[in-house]
Amino acid sequence: MTITPLKLDNLPPSFPKDEAISLELVEGIPIFGASQKVQNRIEDLLRKQKDTVLNEEEEQELNNYEDLDDYLSLVNRTIRNFYLQ
């Protein structure tokens, strides 16, 4: 099985360099996710998006978080598939 790596072009400018990623064990398999701090920022942006239009910087930040979520999902699927072989 060949795994094609997903390349992120950049991280959101407000992305915290420390405490950005959480790691937990689910049935003995490590699962990566956004930290509570990052989740709170995403929720703030989504709440604001419901009430008003995000500015260009905020829209890009939200898009970057979506890309990061896709990347972490790929990493988690790859790890899970490796463990389940």
Looking at per-residue pLDDT, the higher value among 5 and 35 belongs to: 35
pLDDT band at 49 (very low <50, low <70, confident <90, very high): very high
Measured CA to CA, the distance from residue 76 to residue 32 in angstroms comes to 6
pTM, to two decimals: 0.74
User: What's the 3-state SS for the chain?
Assistant: CCCCCCCCCCCCCCCCCCCCEEEEEECCEEEEEECHHHHHHHHHHHHHHHHCCCCHHHHHHHHHHHHHHHHHHHHHHHHHHHHHC
